[in-house]
Amino acid sequence: MTKLKILYVEDEPFLAKIVKDSLESRNYEVAMAIDGNDAMAKFEIDRPDIVVLDIMLPHRDGYSVANEIKKASSKTPIIFLTARTQTHDVVKGFESGGNDYLRKPFSVEELIVRIENLLLLTQRQKNQAPTETIAIGMYQFNPLRYELKIKDRVKKLSHRESTLLQSLIENKNTTLLRKDILMKLWGDDSFFNSRNLDVYITKLRDYLKEDPSIEIITIKGLGYHFTAG
C-alpha cells in the first residue's frame, strides 16, 4: 500500500523530530523542511498529499509559502501550525490558502486526526461526479473548480469555503444545523472550529454581498438559513 506523503515545515528541531517520528509511526511518509525556501523546494520535488506548515519561519513566512503552494496545486490541503492567537491571524491563514489551523502547543494525536480528516474530505471531493455550475442569484458557483463568478469576475474559494457554500445551497430555504456543518467540515464541533466557522460565514457573506437577494441568516443557537433569489 502506498504511503500518504506529508510535507512538514517546522524550524524548531526538537518539536520537528517528535512530530515527524509520530507521523512516521502511523505509516505516513514525511518530508521535512526547516524554512520557507526549503519548503517550496521540497514541495516541488515530493508533491505531498498534504502540507503541515508553521507560520513563523526563517526567510519567508508560512502565509507566503501557502500562497505559492496553492498556485502550484490548488487542491493540496494545508494545515497551519502557529503560536499566534488573534482572530485576524486565523483569517489571514485561510485567505492564504489554509484549510485548517492548529495552535501551539498541540497534541500529536489531534494533529493526526486533523490530517486524516482533511485527507478524507479531499478524497471525497475527488470522487464526486462532475457537477454543473450552480446559479445562485446573480452568481455562478462551480464547486469542483472552487470558483464563484459574477459578471466577468471570478473569486477562487478555498476547499472549506466551497464545501460550506455547497452545503448551504443544498439546504436552501431550510435551517442547516451548526453542529452538522462543523462535523462535515472538520469532523468535530470544538469551540475552536466553531470560531473558524464564524470566520467562514463572514467571508461568504462578503463574497455574496453584491446580490441583496442572497442571505445567510444566523438562527441563534441553532444554525444558518440560506436564501437566494
Q: What is the CATH number of the domain that holds 120?
A: 3.40.50.2300
Residues with Cβ within 8 Å of 187's Cβ and at least 6 positions away in sequence, in order, are 113, 114, 117, 120
Residues with Cβ within 8 Å of 118's Cβ and at least 6 positions away in sequence, in order, are 50, 77, 79, 99, 100
Q: What is the CATH number of the domain that holds 189?
A: 1.10.10.10
Question: Among 127, 162, 188, where does a domain finish?
Answer: 127
48-77: pLDDT as tens digits: 999 999 998 888 899 999 989 988 887 888
Higher pLDDT among residues 126 and 76, named by residue = 76
Higher pLDDT among residues 52 and 114, named by residue = 52
Whole-model pTM: value is: 0.60
Q: Residue 194 is part of which domain span?
A: 134-227
- 106 and 140 together in one domain: no
